[in-house]
Structure 1
Amino acid sequence: MTAPYVPARRAGDWLVLSGQIGLGPDGLADDFAGQLRQALANLDELLAANGARADQVTKVTVFLADMDDYAEMNEIYTGYFTEPRPARTCVAVAGLPLGARVEVEAWVFTGAD
């Protein structure tokens, strides 16, 4: 079965990026840090493909399969997003696609600030 997945959708000045897991060319990374870094790299690719940048990200939702990864997520996250960082929600979930440990979705405002 294939899901009706749309990686990005533009609505006026808004760009909504669907959740990204740490799935790269070689599959899902084994460790949490690798998965989060790949998920953020996937976001970068979607941003670039849609003419947007990480500093335009306004809202992020991070889904964690294990809240024990929260501190490590914060460390990697703060290295990726610079000030002023986007608003963020972090949600603990029972499971993620393909057994991923983290998923990141983003809302991006591409209009005038």
Structure 2
Amino acid sequence: MPPERVITDDAPRTDNPYSQGVVAGDTLYVSGYGPVDPETGEEIDGDIEAQTDRVLDNIAAVVSEAGGDGLDDAVKLTVYVTDLDDYERVNEAYGARFDEVPPARVCVEVARLPGDVRVEMDAIAYLG
């Protein structure tokens, strides 16, 4: 089967040339999301924990749209932060969203993210 594009109004959409997610076989590749409200297209107000929650909500929406079980199907996430001093607070909010088998993860500090947000994540999920 050829790869399938995932489209949902429950995660931010963009006019940029990429998909919210792409399903290839039993694997879903989710594009990077910042703490953007899908209804307004604007970055949410709030501390880094609230922003981390919004990012994870966006990823969960794409996984659900692809037929998965939200974050429960995530097997790998990459976390991008603009200030590594936020690491512990991001980690607390992130950890609260996963149960017994949290996904594999990478966290990197970057100079800048699109929209000048402070945190962004992308994901890989298993839909099998």
Shared topology, TM-score over 0.5? yes
Q: Which has the higher contact order (CA 8 A, sep 6+)?
A: 1
**Structure 2 spans left out of the alignment, 5+ residues:** 1-14
Specify which of 38, 44, 49 is matched with residue 60 of structure 2: 44
Quote the Cα distance in structure 2 between the aligned partners of 1:106 and 1:81: 14
Identity %: 37
Which is helix-richer, 1 or 2?
Answer: 1
| Offset, 1:28 | 0.6
Is 1:95 matched with 2:99? Answer: no
TM-score normalized by the length of structure 1: 0.91
The residue number in structure 2 matching 1:20 is: 33
Instruction: In structure 1, give the amino acid aligned to 2:123.
Output: A
What is the CA–CA distance in structure 2 between the aligned matches of 1:73 and 1:97, rounded to whole Å? 18
CA shift, 1:29, in A, is: 2.0
Bigger share in strand: 1
What's the counterpart of residue 44 of structure 2? 29
- TM-score normalised by length of structure 2: 0.81
Contact 2:63 2:73 in 1 (8 A): no
Alpha-carbon contact 1:35-1:100 (below 8 Å) kept: no
CA distance in 1: counterparts of 2:61 and 2:101, whole angstroms: 21
Number of the residue aligned with 1:4: 17
C-alpha distance in 1 between matches for 2:91 and 2:102: 12
Q: Which moved more, 1:21-30 or 1:94-103?
A: 21-30
Q: Give the letter for the 1:16 counterpart.
A: Y
Question: Structure 2: how far apart are the matches of 1:105 and 1:81?
Answer: 16
User: Over aligned residue pairs, what C-alpha RMSD do you find?
Assistant: 1.2
What is the one-letter code of the residue matched to 1:41? D
Stretches of structure 1 that go unaligned for 5 or more consecutive residues are none
